[in-house]
Chains A and B, each alone.
Chain A
Amino acid sequence: MSLDIINSPIFATIQDKGRFSYTSIGVTNSGVMDEYAYLVANKMLENDLESNIIEIAFSNVHFEAKTNTTIAITGAKCEFYINDVLKPTWQTFNIRAGDLIKVGKILEGTRVYLAVKGGFDINKEFGSNSTTLKEKLGGLDGDRLKKSQSLPCKSFIQTHNKRLKEQFIPKYEDRLELRVILSYQDEYFPKEQIDKFFSSTYEVTNEFNRMGCKLKGEKISCDINGIISEGISFGAIQIPSDGQPIILLKDRQTIGGYPKIGSVLPIDCFKLAQAKPSCKITFKPIEINEAQAKQKEFYSSFA
């Protein structure tokens, strides 16, 4: 019983909430880039909210079902077909053995999520199924998904299919405002540089992957060139000597020596995960207490 991959995907990986408590020896957290799409998919399937999922970047993954099951598809708007019939996303579907499932061209956003009832039956490595290619950990073999692989899953049919209400389906626009907690080395950035950072518009570049997102725009300068290497948070904004911010994401290195002006709120990083190159980015400061309230509100809504 499985979903089998019948084409060669460009970049699809198994992910979950992430791998925790090994950062002290240099193993990154990894995990889904867009937790909103991930949690909605698992919630619609009434799964454990930490179940694994397929994260599909750059489109084009074709599956053949070898069992009856129920799937959920969320994230980027894409051409999604079951047996060559175009279907909407952000909903669950019952699948019969022999059905062909195709995630085709991505139309809005960049990452599609496909979950299965009960999660894929894959052994965890160090507490997680999340795949990090650099570490060769997680997934089926520590690598991206490849043609002819089988993703084991349970046989199941959900009696009522679910669909997310329209107002909760995100719009992936070409402009994003990211909320930032000033932190880390912020005091080494002169006030006019901080003002410039918050009043400028940046652009997402092509240097955008699971490790981080490089922006281009107004150069930000700092009083120091480097720091003694230290632990890096999810969403941390590094300012290298070229002055162009890099936002560090799920597969970030665990320690690093570039000055950091602050950290983007994780729930805003989930939106950034769906941004395309040339998407316009602005930053807005947020205080720690309000930021924690927003984060808690996000996770509580799935409880």
Chain B
Amino acid sequence: MDFKLASVDSIIIYFGDEISQDVASKVKTAYSCLQDINLDGIIEIIPSYSSIFITYDIFKYDYDSIVSKLKKSINLEKTIEGEEKIVTIDVYYGTEVGLDLEDMSTKTKLSIDEIIEIHSSKLYDVYAIGFLPGFAYMASVDERIAMPRLSSPRKQIPKNSVSIADTQTAVYPQASPGGWNIIGRTALELFDKKLDSLSPLSVGNKVKFNPISKEEFLKQGGEL
């Protein structure tokens, strides 16, 4: 763990300098310690791929005291209790919503069915959430279907689009400009004001994409 000053009331802890499962699991453990301890005077905690950013109340801690408090609170040897949370995201992978499926099929020399099979057969880790509320960066996509971002981003990616950029996959929780390759669409709200947590996902969760038919997608409230 490497502690670094971020601003007058925030610090950042680094757990490594690469995007990897090993580093992500350290972030996940440390994040879990911080949530369990629920320290008074902590205002924000933002876990990401290789770091945790923390904002604190400067009327309660100075820089040295927050660092020593956090060092005592984080135990990277801790085993996270209970089952890992696996969130299933049902996806309709039709070409009418998977706008880049045909193009990807040409580039990868895989059939659309093979692309769907490869994308939906893996369990992904949520490494970071940001860019848009509820936009979860998940990895790692199988190299066979890893795709660079579009050379010219779309002005409007439809809400709930399931997408790939390099070895990462994500769902656009709202319509937005963006350059990721679109392979399908879900009816699941990833930013949902009805949830206390605002999103069904949090950093450290695992995600499974489950292919569903167009009929099922529409039945779930999906929109074409």
* A positions within 8 Å CB-CB of B: 20-27, 29, 125-126, 134-135, 137, 181-184, 228-236, 253-256, 263, 265-266, 288-289, 291-292, 295-296, 299
Contacts and interface: CB of A to CB of B under 8 A. Distances in A.
Contacts of A295: 8-9, 58
A134 B175 CA distance: 11
Contacts of B197: 25
B6 A233 contact: yes
B43 interface: yes
A289 B62 CA distance: 8
Interface stretch (B70-78, B101-109, B125-133, B213-221): B125-133
Interface of B: 4-10, 12, 17-19, 43-53, 55, 58-59, 62-63, 128-135, 137, 191, 193, 197-199, 201-203
A255 B130 contact: yes
A26 B17 CA distance: 22
A179 to B, nearest CB: 9
B44 A23 contact: yes
A236 B46 CA distance: 15
Contacts of A125: 193
Given A25-B201, A183-B7, A184-B6, A233 B55 contact: yes
A235 B10 CA distance: 11
A273 to B, nearest CB: 16
A229 B49 contact: yes
A80 to B, nearest CB: 33
A233 B53 contact: yes
Contacts of B59: 296, 299
Contact of A25 (B5, B19, B198): B198
Contacts of A265: 8
Contacts of A256: 130
A49 to B, nearest CB: 14
B12 A231 contact: yes
A289 B58 CA distance: 10
A292 B58 contact: yes
Nearest to A260: B6
Contacts of A289: 62-63
A230 B132 contact: no
B202 A233 contact: no
A12 B195 CA distance: 29
A229 B48 contact: yes
Contacts of B132: 26, 134
Contact of B48 (A231, A291, A299): A231
Contacts of B202: 24-25
B220 to A, nearest CB: 22
B131 A253 contact: yes
Contact of B7 (A134, A234, A296, A299): A234
Contacts of A23: 44-46
B178 to A, nearest CB: 13
Given A24-B129, A25-B202, A254 B46 contact: yes
A263 B62 contact: no
The 7 closest A-B pairs by CB, nearest first: A231-B53, A231-B46, A263-B7, A255-B130, A233-B7, A183-B5, A25-B199
B8 A288 contact: yes
Given A24-B129, A25-B134, A253-B130, A230 B8 contact: no
A183 B17 CA distance: 17
Contacts of B53: 230-233
A213 to B, nearest CB: 16
A267 to B, nearest CB: 9
Contacts of A20: 43-44
Contacts of B12: 184, 230-231
Nearest to B35: A24
Given A24-B202, A126-B198, A231-B52, 13 more contacts: A24-B46, A228-B49, A230-B12, A230-B50, A233-B53, A234-B7, A235-B8, A236-B7, A253-B131, A263-B10, A292-B8, A295-B8, A295-B9
A113 to B, nearest CB: 23
Nearest to A267: B8
Contact of A229 (B43, B55, B130): B130
Contacts of A235: 7-8
A137 B173 CA distance: 14
B17 A263 contact: no
25 contacts: A20-B43, A22-B198, A25-B129, A25-B134, A25-B199, A26-B130, A26-B135, A27-B133, A27-B198, A183-B7, A184-B4, A228-B18, A228-B19, A228-B51, A229-B49, A229-B130, A232-B53, A233-B55, A254-B130, A256-B130, A263-B8, A288-B8, A288-B63, A292-B9, A296-B59
Nearest to A237: B7
A231 B51 contact: yes
Nearest to A126: B198
Nearest to A262: B7
